[in-house]
Amino acid sequence: MIRKTDNSNSIFYISCADWECVLVSDDPDEAAAIAMERANKKYGKYLNLSPTIKVVNVNYAIDKMEILDDILVVYKPNVLANAGLHDLAKKYKKIINVIKNEE
């Protein structure tokens, strides 16, 4: 899922039995219902259910995270290269080196 960060709805992570779903919604109950519909459509009679369904408001959870313990920062040129964007990775690496040399 890719979305613009100015979206007012929250991202929800929903988990039940052996399946999970991530979606955008404005309400956790609606998110759970949409996830259940999608899981039922995908698995049909093979859909596994547990007694509960977990719904996590990812936006809220991210706001409450401790940056030192919960957030990983990765080197953008490596990510770009791993995504096959080698020319862009080289450009970012040059920009980072220029910034480092200015300090």
- Measure the CA angle with vertex 66, ends 64 and 68; round to 5°: 165
Please write the tens of the pLDDT for every residue from 8-55: 899 999 999 999 999 999 999 999 999 999 999 999 999 999 999 999
Query: What mean pLDDT, rounded, does the chain reach?
Result: 90
Question: So what's the pLDDT on residue 103?
Answer: 66
Note if the pTM is more than 0.95. no
What distance in Å separates the CA atoms of residue 85 and residue 76, rounded to the nearest whole number? 11
What distance in Å separates the CA atoms of residue 60 and residue 95, rounded to the nearest whole number? 33
Please enumerate in sequence order all residues whose Cβ is within 8 A of that of 24, keeping only pairs 6 or more positions apart, or say none: 1, 3, 7, 9, 10, 11, 12
